[in-house]
Amino acid sequence: MSKFRLAHLGLALAALGFTAAAPVVGLAPAYAAETLRAEVGKPLQQAQQQMKAGKNKEALATLRSLDKVSGKTPNETYLIERTRAGAASAAGDYDTAAKSFEYLIDSGKLSAAEKSQFSEGLIGIYMRAGDLNKANAAIQRQLKERNDPKLRAYLMQNYYKQGNVAALEAELRNAEKSGRLSEDELGMLANIQLKKGDKVGYVGTIEKLAANYPKAQYWTDLLNRVQGKPGFAGRLQTDVYRLKLANNLLKKPSEYMEMAQLVLQAKAPAEAVKVIDKGYKAGALGTGPEAERHKRLKDLADKSLSEQTTNAAATEAELTKLGDNDALVSLGYALVQAGQTDKGLKMMENAIKSGKLKYPEDAKLHLGEAYAAAGKKQQAINTFKTVGGKDGAADLARYFIMAINKPAA
């Protein structure tokens, strides 16, 4: 916020048409040709010299003496206020500066470009003075003339600072219709929703943050929140971990251990081996007081993979005979993770085509994950787009698409 204020105060001073070293006639070249009476011209020159010396408060005092001069011409008043605007801005007398800026804007003596500059400068003065109501009114007047995203952002920041939730939310919604919200704007919206207890809206906003500004903090929050949504199925916990792994969110030994155990339970030992190996490479596993436990889990994953590889053909035949298509989807996924990509994908596809599944949306979700694991990104995205349901599978499918397009930094 301070950068905005200072920038606009600088713009305001530039709009005044002078620097501290400029002569009085340089203040307003369009009106300098008019003769100034001595009782006006001399104090103006004195004020200018005081400003040049950095004595802005003294300059304001000199200018106040001109208020007592009667019969001033419109040009004389204009030059006085233009000088006063600069002295007051530099002195930090924002109330006086605002009044001078208001006069100049309404004087009819500014060009269209100058009027726009002075209007923005006035906004900066109001904000520096802490008069956010006047600043907002001035911003809204400017926005009626031109849609300036920068000014609209300041308006939203002011609403946020004022705690004007209704106005801020309305402005954010309007801004969202015209284009993507910035990270700061989405953050403001998320804070509003959190304070209002709008959990569904908050998750939706965090989802946009993770999609457009993929950071670990947004992904972590999103995956924690989605599991708390009403109706979220516990059986999808494994898929949540797969998303965490895809976004490099696994850090603790317990996280690697839990994910490895979950994928082992899902009968995907090759995936478990990969997770455990990654944990070892990251230094999260194989050290500390739990190192032996980590080793036992690693041995179990290796043994399970060996047994599954040996018995894969017999298992497939048995499951096909039983018509257990859900189990065939799981076996197909395990084969893809084990490197038998074509065989595994075809097994999953055929099982899904049968239509005889207990959890058809889960099956499509896992097929999308298998495509992603096989490096077939477009097929993965196309499959994820078909996932429906209200138990969390559709949410996770969207998140996998996000992770493919923009993984967390």
Q: What tens digit of pLDDT does each residue of 319-332 get?
A: 999 999 999 999 99
In whole angstroms, what is the distance from residue 9 CA to residue 79 CA? 19
Where are the chain's structural domains? 2-143, 147-213, 234-405
**Mean pLDDT of the 49-69 span:** 93
**Residue 229 has what pLDDT?**
85
The residue that leads in pLDDT, 27 or 47, is 47
Residue 57's Cβ-side half-sphere holds a number of Cα atoms within 13 Å equal to: 2
Contact 367, 381 (CB under 8 A): no
**Residue 34 has what pLDDT?**
58
At position 4, the amino acid (one-letter code) is F
Mean of the per-residue pLDDT values of the chain: 88
Question: Distance of CA 285 to CAs 69, 261, 290, 292, 308, Å?
Answer: 85, 14, 8, 10, 24
The encoded tokens of residue 402 equal 């996000």
Q: Do domains 2-143 and 234-405 have the same CATH topology?
A: yes
Report domain 234-405's class. mainly alpha
Whether the predicted model's global pTM rises above the 0.85 cut = no
CATH 1.10.3470 holds for 2-143:
no
In whole angstroms, what is the distance from residue 109 CA to residue 127 CA? 25
Burial class for 255, CB neighbours closer than 10 Å (0-12, 13-18, 19+): middle
The residue that leads in pLDDT, 144 or 349, is 349
**Mean pLDDT of the 103-115 span:** 89
**Mean pLDDT of the 145-154 span:** 83
Q: Which of 126-130, 201-205, 262-266 has the highest mean pLDDT?
A: 262-266
Q: Single out the residue of 57, 48, 43 nearest to residue 23, CA to CA.
A: 48
Q: Is the dihedral of CA 361, 363, 368, 369 positive or negative?
A: positive
Contact 69, 39 (CB under 8 A): yes
**Mean pLDDT of the 231-243 span:** 96
Main-chain dihedrals φ then ψ at residue 338, nearest 5 degrees:
-85, 0
* pLDDT of 17 strictly over 50: no
The residue that leads in pLDDT, 151 or 256, is 256
Residue 112's Cβ-side half-sphere holds a number of Cα atoms within 13 Å equal to: 2
In whole angstroms, what is the distance from residue 35 CA to residue 14 CA? 24
